[in-house]
Amino acid sequence: MAWIYLFVAGLLEIGWAFSMKRSEGFTLLGPTLLTFILMIGSFGLLSLAMRSLPLGTAYTIWTGIGAVGAFAVGILVLGEAANPMRLIAAGLIVGGLVLMKTAG
């Protein structure tokens, strides 16, 4: 169950990063409130996952899901650049996540 909590926490991290971008520096109420709600959910699920997963593994996987997910949302939804170096960097992060999961 800890891995499910961790995965959903990572998805919520992607959501709060996107809503933070949409909040325009916390000047728009709706996206600002959504950001904080998603943050609380993400941190809460991360804390549940950390009950049984090692700190380093849980935190690395959580931030990795958030980082790569936010990167993908930036490209797919916000039209950010998808140049080869950025794609390679994201691929390296995913590779690190796979190694972290299989090592633990």
pLDDT, tens digit (0-9, with 9 covering 90-100), for 50-102: 999 999 999 999 999 999 999 999 999 999 999 999 999 999 999 999 998 88
Please tell me the predicted confidence (pLDDT) of residue 93.
94
How far apart, in whole angstroms, are the C-alpha atoms of residue 70 and residue 2? 22
Please tell me the predicted confidence (pLDDT) of residue 100.
86
Mean per-residue pLDDT, 13-22? 98
Q: Which of 46, 50, 43, 60 is nearest to 98 (CA)?
A: 60
DSSP structure class, residue 53: S
Residue that has been written with the tokens 């796979």 in this structure: 98
Please tell me the predicted confidence (pLDDT) of residue 42.
98
Half-sphere exposure of 103 (CA within 13 A, CB side): 12
Please tell me the predicted confidence (pLDDT) of residue 104.
66
